[in-house]
Chains A and B, each alone.
Chain A
Amino acid sequence: MSLLKIDNLKVNINGKEILKGLSLEVNPGEIHAIMGPNGSGKSTLAGVLAGKEDYEVVEGTIEFDGKNIFEMSPEDRAREGLFLAFQYPIEIPGVSNASFMKTAVNEIRKYRNLEPLDAMDFLRIMREKAKLVEMDQAFLNRSVNDGFSGGEKKRNEIFQLAMLEPKLAILDETDSGLDIDALKIVANGVNKVRNENNAFVVITHYQRLLNYIIPDFVHVLFDGKLVVSGGKELALELEEKGYDWIKKQYNGVLV
């Protein structure tokens, strides 16, 4: 059974059509990359999956792990194993990273009828996962993303991913704003977390990330649909030729 099945998804924002019939299937163990020009709807797709408000789903279905995603609140989606690494992580002054994660982990455990982690176990796991993304322990006591640099915020997203061990992770431009070393570290973190039971949807503008996180499929989101799909070579082709050929080809079909 597929982990994620999106069928003919149409989504409006403030009456404007953003996604216009998007379909995608993701199986356990797979990595999908989604590329596409600015404003084509990549973050919208990620937001719809995570349950962000202010989208109007006009048509289509999404099944996550066999369940209708639209019947689940955002928190239940997370508890079911969906994770979104935000393109723009939110700053939460006054709430420590550690406390934020402890609550998240234990709320998710509660949902799965597991006992909450005690303080010692939690600390141990947290330190382990921080090491995985080479995040300094000091960040654990700081307020969530508060005053973090752009790259530190992205790294914190991957730390959270490692903590929550989702079935499906959507990374929305996690590579943007990372220096070369950080990019490797983040990619490395993802590769350590990945296994045959989980899957990743990696939204990116740059082929570079895909040298480290090797995708099984690459899709181009254009004009609200996935118009071209291919293997990892597609990313190289896009890097070389840009989106013009797709725009021409696709608009040609339309006209």
Chain B
Amino acid sequence: MAIKEKITDYFEKYTQSLNGEKNSYLFSLREKSIKIFHELGIPTLKNEEWKYTKLNFLNNIDFEISNSAPHSFPENFKISDYYIENFEGDVLVFINGFFEKKYSRIINTEENLVVTNLNEAKEKYSNILENYLTKYTDESNNPFTALNTALANDGAVIILPKNFEKELPIHLLFINIPLQSNLITNSRNLIIVDSNSKAQFIETSYSWGDLASFHNTVSELYLKQNSEVEYYKFQNDSHSAYYIGSTQIHQEKDSRLFSTTISLAGKFIRNNLNSILDGENSEAHFNGLYFIGNEDFVDNHTLVDHAKPHCNSNENYKGIIDGKATAVFNGKIMVRPFAQKTNAYQSNKNILLSEDATINTKPQLEIFADDVKCSHGATSGYLDRDAIFYFRARGIDEKIAQSYLLNSFSSDIIETVKIDALRDLIKSEIAKKLSMNELYFCSILESNKI
């Protein structure tokens, strides 16, 4: 059965099991969304938004939709492998799409602070869900978001009260453990940061084993007035991992968003990162680094929607592509008619390490206001042979030369990660990719700062 029919079929069965929830608002959303999904179907390469992004794995792999967490972990599975070492903050763990309290750690229990999961929140915070869920996610243009709404298993619900300035890093950790069949999970996160508050979020998704995992994730972030959010995605998954993640951000006046997306491995990754600058003086910083090899595929689609005047956006994505890997970057900047005095900057630079590596990069500017400062640029090329030779002529072998050059290329992005434990993890994983001794690599990074 084709994936589309399989999913709609599943939805039928799923709704029968719901009973009581059927009268809820969430359920009406689900019904609406499954219809949209059914109408849109799986996008083909003819769809401009998916032009370079082959989705045939969805039909080639026989997926089942996750409906429960496994009763026990496989023998060689260690949950501790997935935690970020030395990370100090809350960790919310979801296995096969379902919240696992046992493996989670919620330290922050301040009054009015909500750190919970969707299935808990359904009853307790139903009116908040009603007010926020799907408010800005453009489902009619993205079947995977519609699919997510229809089938969302669970996810994080985080609500920061006003004036909450305490540093509060929260790690959302999604692990799929397909045991009997290839698995689809739909995780849905809702994050609301109220006025004058600050927060840091990390999202990571992992796939255990050789059976395929398809993570279809949607996160909605709401930044109220003068709030500040750091939002990190770190992607370092396996050869059996397929991932489509959409993050929809809504920003009010004076809010500041700092997003960094680091993609190091995964069979298929599509990131949609959209922010609506919907209040004056708000700013969005989108940073990204993809460093991939093998036959991996990473696609970053971003949209900065300047809806109000006097806002700033600053986007800097860099790519290193090795082996037979393919990367796609599509950065859209929309400046609406009244959004005068907009500053929008975008850059995408790429280094190809092999002749079989591919990059498709495209800026997409839609500017409807006239008093706007907007610049963009994209480059791609190979490492400078003359520079490598210069190192070698000084007794430094090619591998180290390459590490230096790639490190200097990517370090500005890595430094945008302000959570030490995460940044250390990223550096050590990059050292592994350069097949360098981690200590040696770090000594290079360090000595560079003398």
A contacts, CB < 8 Å to B? 50-53, 73-75, 78-79, 83-84, 86, 89-90, 92-96, 98-104, 107-108, 111, 119, 123, 140-141, 143-144, 160, 164
Proximity string of chain B (105-138) to chain A, C-beta cutoff 8 Å, 1 when within and 0 when not: 0000000000000000000000000000000000
B408 / chain A contacts, CB cutoff of 8 Å? 92-95, 143
Given A92-B405, A96-B448, check contact A51 B387 (CB 8 Å). Answer: no
Find out whether the CB atom of A98 lies under 8 angstroms from the CB atom of B447.
Answer: yes
* B409 contacts chain A at the CB level, 8 A cutoff: yes
CB neighbours (8 Å) of A75 from chain B are 391-393, 395-398
Query: Which of B's residues lie within 8 Å of A, judged by CB?
Result: 384-387, 389-398, 400, 404-405, 407-409, 411, 444, 447-450
How many Å from the CB of A191 to the closest CB on chain B?
A: 22
Residue from B390, B392, B395, B449 in contact with A164 in the complex, judged by beta carbons closer than 8 Å: B395
Contact call B409/A51, Cβ cutoff below 8 A: no
CB of B412, distance to nearest CB on chain A (Å): 9
Nearest neighbor of A79 in chain B, beta-carbon distance: B395
The 7 nearest A-B residue pairs measured at CB: A94-B408, A78-B395, A74-B392, A90-B390, A104-B394, A99-B448, A99-B447
**8 pairs from A and B in contact (CB 8 Å cutoff):** A74-B389, A75-B393, A78-B392, A84-B393, A90-B386, A95-B405, A96-B449, A103-B404
Query: Once the chains bind, are B393 and A141 in contact (CB under 8 Å)?
Result: no
Report whether B394 and A78 are in contact in the complex, using a CB–CB cutoff of 8 Å: yes
Q: In the complex the two chains form, what is the Cα distance from A78 to B401 in whole Å? A: 14
Complex CA gap A83/B390 in Å reads: 11
Do A99 and B387 touch (CB < 8 A)? no
Q: How many Å lie between the Cα of A96 and that of B450 in the bound state?
A: 8
B450 x A99 contact (CB < 8 A): yes
Query: Would you call A53 and B447 a contact (CB within 8 A)?
Result: no
Interface hub of A89, A100, A119 (most chain B Cβ within 10 A): A100
Q: Is the CB of A107 within 8 A of B447?
A: no
Inter-subunit contact B387/A90 (CB<8 Å): yes
Decide: A104 near B395, CB < 8 A? Known: A92-B405, A94-B407, A98-B450.
Answer: yes
Q: A79-B395, A90-B384, A108-B395 are known; give 19 further A-B pairs, CB within 8 A.
A: A51-B392, A53-B389, A83-B393, A86-B390, A89-B390, A90-B387, A90-B389, A92-B404, A96-B449, A98-B447, A98-B450, A100-B391, A102-B447, A103-B404, A103-B444, A104-B394, A119-B447, A144-B390, A164-B394
Bound Cα distance from A98 to B390, whole angstroms:
15
Closest to B411 in A: A94
B393, B411, B444, B447: the one contacting A78 at CB < 8 Å is B393
Most A Cβ at <10 Å: residue of B392, B395, B449: B395
Known contacts A74-B389, A92-B405, A94-B411; A100 and B394 CB within 8 A of each other: yes
- Separation of A149 and B447 alpha carbons in the complex (Å): 24
- Chain A residue at minimum C-beta to C-beta distance from B395: A78
Kindly state the separation between the CA atoms of A141 and B448 in the bound complex, as whole angstroms: 8
Residues A141 and B387 in contact in the complex (CB < 8 Å), given A74-B392, A92-B405: no
Q: Say whether chain B's binding surface is mostly helix, strand, loop, or mixed.
A: helix
Contacts of B400 in A (CB 8 A): 103, 107
Looking at the assembled complex, report how far the CB atom of A197 sits from the nearest CB atom of chain B, in whole angstroms: 19
Selected contact of A74 from candidates B386, B393, B407, B449, CB within 8 Å = B393
Asked whether, in the complex, the Cβ of A52 is within 8 Å of the Cβ of B444, the reply is no
In the complex the two chains form, is B447's CB within 8 Å of A104's CB?
Answer: no
Complex alpha-carbon distance, A83 and B397, angstroms? 15
Contact B397 A95 (CB under 8 A): no
CB distance from A103 to the nearest CB of B (A): 5
Q: Are the C-beta atoms of A103 and B447 separated by less than 8 Å? A: yes
> What residues on B are CB-neighbors of A98 within 8 Å?
447, 450
CB of B395 within 8 A of CB of A107, answer: yes
Complex interface: chain B residues within 8 A of A102 (CB):
447, 450
Query: Could you say which residues of chain A place their CB within 8 Å of the CB of B394?
Result: 78, 100-101, 104, 160, 164
Asked if residues A104 and B396 are in contact (CB atoms below 8 Å), the reply is yes
Complex: A108 Cα to B395 Cα, angstroms:
6
Q: In the complex, A32→B405 CA distance in Å?
A: 35
Q: Which of B389, B393, B409 has the most CB of A within 10 A?
A: B393
Q: In the complex, which residue of chain B has the Cβ closest to the Cβ of A76?
A: B395
Shortest CB–CB separation between residue A86 and chain B, in angstroms? 7
Q: Which residues of A sit under 8 angstroms from B389, Cβ to Cβ?
A: 52-53, 74, 90
Cα–Cα distance between A74 and B133 once the two chains are bound (Å):
61
Q: Which of A73, A94, A99, A119 contacts B392 (CB 8 A)?
A: A73
- Cβ of B444: which chain A residues have Cβ within 8 Å of it? 99, 103
A107 to B397, Cβ gap below 8 A? yes
Which residues of A have CB within 8 Å of B386?
90
Cβ-closest chain B residue relative to A94? B408
Cα of A99 to Cα of B396 in the assembled complex, Å: 12
CB distance from A137 to the nearest CB of B (A): 11
A107 to B390, Cβ gap below 8 A? no
When the two chains form their complex, are residues A95 and B392 in contact, meaning their CB atoms are under 8 A apart? Answer: no
A199–chain B nearest beta-carbon distance, Å:
18
A98 to B449: give the CA distance in the assembly, Å.
9
CB distance from A144 to the nearest CB of B (A): 8
Give the Cβ gap from A177 to chain B, nearest Cβ, in Å.
Answer: 18
A94 to B414, CA, bound (A): 14
User: Complex Cα distance A94/B404, Å?
Assistant: 8
Contacts of A99 in B (CB 8 A): 404, 444, 447-448, 450
Contact B409 A94 (CB under 8 A): yes
Across-interface contacts of A74 in B (CB, < 8 A): 389, 392-393
A244 vs chain B, min Cβ distance (A): 34
- Inter-chain CA distance A106–B434, complex, in Å, is 19
Q: Which residues from chain B contact A119 at a C-beta distance below 8 Å?
A: 447
Tell me the complex Cα distance, A107–B393, Å: 12
Residues of A within 8 A of B397 (CB): 73, 75, 107
Residues of B near A140 (CB, < 8 A) are 450
Measured CA separation A36–B372 after assembly (Å): 57
Q: How far is the CA of A122 from the CA of B396 in the complex (A)?
A: 17
B447 near A50 with CB under 8 A, answer no
Nearest chain A residue, comparing its CB with the CB of B450:
A98
